[in-house]
Chain A
Amino acid sequence: MRFAFFLVLVLVGSVAVLVMGRSGSDRADFTYVNPSDLNTLDPASMTWNHDFRIAWNIWEGLTTHHPETTLPVEGAAFFPTVSADRCTYTFTLRADARWSNGDAVTAADFVRGWRRALEPGTAGDYACLFTDHLAGAAEYYAWRNDGVRRLTSLPRGSAAWRTVFAEQASQRGERFAEVGVGAVSSRELVVRLKRPCPYFLDLCAFPAFLPIHASIEPLRVDFEGSGLSAEGLVLYDPQWTKPDYHARGYPGLVTNGPYRVTDWQFKRRLRLGVNPHFRDAPALACRTIDMLVYRDIHAGILAYEAGEVDFLPDTSVPYDHELVRLSRTGLRPDFHCPVVFGTYFFVFNCADELFEDRPNPFVDARVRRAFALSVDKRLLAERVLGRGDPPTDTIVPPHSVVGYTSPMGLGYDPDQARWLLAEAGFPDGRGLPVIDLLFNTGFHQQEKVCDALATMWSRELGASVSTRGKDVKSFAEDRKRRRFMIARGGWYGDYADPTTFLDWFASGNGNNDAGYADPRYDALLEEAVGETDADRRLAILSLAEQRLIRETLPVLPLYGYTQLLAIKPHVRGLYPNHRLIFPFSALAVAR
């Protein structure tokens, strides 16, 4: 009897707890799957493509992307007037640009958004887009970061700390006035660049350049009325991105794009509804959009097959080569595999000495070239990966930037590789230490590629290779500390210009884990910066890339990234493109 009582207790408990769960049964007009939840909805600090995808649909920058070509088109502002020296852009905002609470979008909202993207604390990985292009931004950024450094190195509350803090708090406004973005009136925004930037309109659509509504200001961390935290950072209550957060009179997330967030359940679902104040709101065919989180992409594919999902933006599964084959043979026309704006590569450690003071054979460019020449990339792409990733010798994806001619790479030539290795003092691989090949685990292709590379280098060069897989955090740590000989790399371009890839290898660049420093390469990049003629500039950048991939080889490009997408046939207005930009405002679903 007592036992039965216990069972009933358990039963009642189960049902009670289940009832506590929130219901999510109503289906949206359009549903897609993400393998994880958004890392953040703060445009200033977002770095992941799946975060961008939502940002681009709930906010609208000065420009936005054409759904098919991804070229910049007019967004919250009309196309700007550009000064004769192509350094000053004057944008006029649309009179009918509205926030989701009905407020007019103003130039000050853009200044607020751009400033957040530059302030230490809210600034994310893309602060460099401002410091590289906006007049005065690098100076402001350096001054602020230096202030933070000084504040954190001084005892809090000391006289010296108070002096630095007061200086940071009081001079911030004055210093920021020298940064090249300013609101002339509520609808007029003037942007001054440090030098002409042919892709600036493309940048204006980037999430870091989105406007932010003034309602977030009460959520700012404010130490003694300074507008800063005690560490000198600009910080906000991170809950500001929630639609249902109402602390200190906050109205919940206010955005200015075609859609707004109506519900966000962590790692379950994010729902978008139409922003009723958006200028084209009545014309939007999809009124509700769901982003469902399916951690197991196999389950996501099953949901797609069962018709519960309309779009899979990423179907990276061990059997994806089979899906690609079905797509190419026309058996599954709903699967698409576009070549995207990214390159998979490995970097050679170019430092004079390895970790633990061991001699580094890769300090010699001939060894790097030998290793690059002995990789049969076509074999790798066709036999090892088998999903149509295009083998490449270049770091900038070929034909991805209009007007840019990719240089010739090294190709596959094992005879020359052996000759170069012998020339460098390692005939038939004799004298080479065991090559440490570092990669991050968690992606099924990585291990296969590393094993194939190890086999090729062993067969062609007589090198003994040890592959070392680490979880992504330890991998990043090892790469940052240069504890590798060869390490996996990869990069997706952020804007339509070769420099989004080439800047990686500039001396002193934060991502240059190869420790590569080539004055001639740096000089070519600098020359391109000063070149005002667009064609000549691209030609110089092509020379720089040639230096990188034919002569000095700090990097071994292997193949261009592809992305396998699945789009249900009843979905219209979603175009597989190389930048994976999917504006939902063009969507139409006819089930």
Chain B
Amino acid sequence: MTRRLIRRLLLGLATVGGVYVATFLIVMVVPGDPFSSGDRRMPAEVARALRARYDLDRPWAYAGQFLWGAMRLDFGPSFLYKDWTCTQIISGALPVSVTLGLAAILIAVLVGVPAGAVSAVHRNGWFDLSCLVCVLIGLSVPTFVTGSALLTLCAVYLKIAPIGGWGQLAHLPLPALTLSLPFMASIARLTRVGMLDVLGSAYVRTAVAKGLSRRQVVWRHAFRNTGLVVLNYLGPATAAAMTGSFVVEKVFNVPGLGQHFVDAALNLDRGLILATVLVYASILVALNTLVDLVCVWADPRLVESLN
């Protein structure tokens, strides 16, 4: 088990390293000058001196230095926002994205799992069909549409929520709900399919034959095994919710990491691009590994999957 775990962690590190190298290569070949801003120009000699100072003309030296700094959580300066370091920017934004992502997944699980389970138990009933419609909406309508609609309804007309921003508990529900919708839909479908699968299995039939009540069969025997399916999905989903909240952040004016990632890419802010990619890649790898471990903990038969 320990050897498997270590191997898994090393694989995760290699994945992050691969992502870093690929991003670095892309950043290096993209045209444009990180020191130019708008219409006015810096003298060529000063630009050259600054490039020399930040090792931008020696890409591999820069890559090495950046990685060394990153290991000490020092991502260097931002070229676009001169008054801030990348570490300051990320340390301010990461907790916001993590909070938003976790809250979204929490809502998605709390609503999606019961909805999927009830749908499966009352298959083809009115609740199941209503859920199907909601799932289709959740999966197909983009978050900037649902976000804008929720914002207009709750903040402008009903005045029960603030118009965007961050810092108070009241700022969390609307963006978290918006972000949760696609995940909620997926979780509901997964739970429903998983439940149907389990409800048709031999041990459930045996449980029914033994005279257990319907409630006991559904909630004690069938539902618990369905949870594993959802748990498997939660790793990538949580990572996606934490790293893919750019649109929701923009609509609700949430100061998360997504906006910095997009701005950095648009402005060729090399340090910030590399830093955000490293953080995102680490989150993805860490969460996937964590969920795999939790799954093994929940179902020891899965220990082989760590390979």
Instruction: State the A residues within 8 Å of B (CB).
Output: 2-3, 6-7, 10-11, 13-14, 17-18, 20-25, 37-42, 45, 47-48, 120-121, 123, 125-126, 145-146, 148-149, 151-152, 229-233, 235, 238-239, 241-242, 265-268, 292-296, 298-299, 302-303, 305-306, 308, 471-474, 476-477, 480, 489-491, 510-511
> Which of A229, A242, A293, A476 is close to B36, meaning CB atoms less than 8 Å apart?
A476
> Are A14 and B106 closer than 8 Å at their CB atoms?
yes
Chain A residues in 8 Å Cβ range of B45: 120, 145-146, 148-149, 152
> Are B163 and A120 closer than 8 Å at their CB atoms?
no
Bound CA–CA A567/B100 (angstroms) = 33
> Which of A40, A149, A266 is close to B255, meaning CB atoms less than 8 Å apart?
A266
Chain A residue at smallest Cβ distance from B263: A36
> Are A151 and B155 closer than 8 Å at their CB atoms?
no
Stretch at the interface among B46-54, B205-213, B276-284: B46-54
> Are B255 and A268 closer than 8 Å at their CB atoms?
yes
Stretch at the interface among B65-73, B75-83, B181-189: B75-83
> Are B99 and A14 closer than 8 Å at their CB atoms?
yes
Given contacts A17-B95, A40-B81, A146-B45, 5 further A-B contacts (CB under 8 A): A21-B96, A47-B40, A125-B40, A231-B49, A295-B253
Task: Please tell me if B231 contacts chain A, counting CB pairs below 8 Å.
Answer: yes
> Which of A40, A233, A302 is close to B156, meaning CB atoms less than 8 Å apart?
A302
> Are B46 and A120 closer than 8 Å at their CB atoms?
yes
> Which of B32, B82, B88 is close to A476, meaning CB atoms less than 8 Å apart?
B32
> Are A474 and B255 closer than 8 Å at their CB atoms?
no
Stretch at the interface among B9-17, B124-132, B167-175, B195-203: B167-175
> Which of A14, A232, A239, A471 is close to B266, meaning CB atoms less than 8 Å apart?
A471
Closest chain-B Cβ to A343's Cβ sits at a distance in Å of: 12
> Which of A45, A120, A295, A473 is close to B267, meaning CB atoms less than 8 Å apart?
A473
Bound CA–CA A449/B189 (angstroms) = 47
Task: Please tell me if B140 contacts chain A, counting CB pairs below 8 Å.
Answer: no
Chain B residue at smallest Cβ distance from A120: B46
A-B contact count (CB 8 A): 192
> Are B99 and A472 closer than 8 Å at their CB atoms?
no
> Are A302 and B163 closer than 8 Å at their CB atoms?
yes
Closest chain-B Cβ to A329's Cβ sits at a distance in Å of: 23
Task: Please tell me if B24 contacts chain A, counting CB pairs below 8 Å.
Answer: no
Task: Please tell me if B142 contacts chain A, counting CB pairs below 8 Å.
Answer: no
Bound CA–CA A76/B10 (angstroms) = 62
21 A-B contacts (beta carbon < 8 Å): A7-B110, A10-B105, A21-B95, A21-B96, A25-B167, A25-B168, A37-B81, A39-B80, A120-B49, A146-B45, A152-B48, A233-B49, A266-B88, A266-B92, A266-B93, A302-B151, A306-B156, A473-B33, A473-B267, A477-B31, A510-B40
Chain A residue at smallest Cβ distance from B226: A3
Chain A residues in 8 Å Cβ range of B151: 299, 302
Which of B95, B148, B172 is the most central at the interface, judged by chain A CB atoms within 10 Å of its CB?
B95
Instruction: State the B residues within 8 Å of A (CB).
Output: 31-33, 36-43, 45-46, 48-50, 52-53, 77, 80-85, 88-89, 92-93, 95-96, 98-99, 102-103, 105-106, 109-110, 148, 151-152, 155-156, 159, 162-169, 172, 224, 227, 231, 249-253, 255, 259-260, 266-268, 294, 297-298
Bound CA–CA A480/B33 (angstroms) = 11
- Name the 10 nearest CB pairs between A and B, nearest first: A125-B40, A473-B32, A149-B45, A231-B49, A24-B167, A3-B227, A14-B102, A17-B99, A510-B41, A303-B163
Chain B residues in 8 Å Cβ range of A294: 164, 253
Bound CA–CA A124/B276 (angstroms) = 28
Bound CA–CA A302/B253 (angstroms) = 11
> Are A267 and B106 closer than 8 Å at their CB atoms?
no
Closest chain-B Cβ to A45's Cβ sits at a distance in Å of: 7
> Are B268 and A473 closer than 8 Å at their CB atoms?
yes
> Which of B40, B82, B105 is close to A40, meaning CB atoms less than 8 Å apart?
B82
Chain A residues in 8 Å Cβ range of B52: 152, 231
> Are A152 and B49 closer than 8 Å at their CB atoms?
yes
Chain B residues in 8 Å Cβ range of A48: 38
Bound CA–CA A180/B266 (angstroms) = 41
> Which of A6, A11, A13, A295 is close to B250, meaning CB atoms less than 8 Å apart?
A295
Chain B residues in 8 Å Cβ range of A25: 167-168
Closest chain-B Cβ to A63's Cβ sits at a distance in Å of: 23
Bound CA–CA A17/B94 (angstroms) = 10
Chain B residues in 8 Å Cβ range of A39: 37, 80-82
Chain B residues in 8 Å Cβ range of A23: 167-168
With A37-B81, A302-B152 as contacts: A232 and B98 at CB distance below 8 Å: no
Bound CA–CA A13/B38 (angstroms) = 42
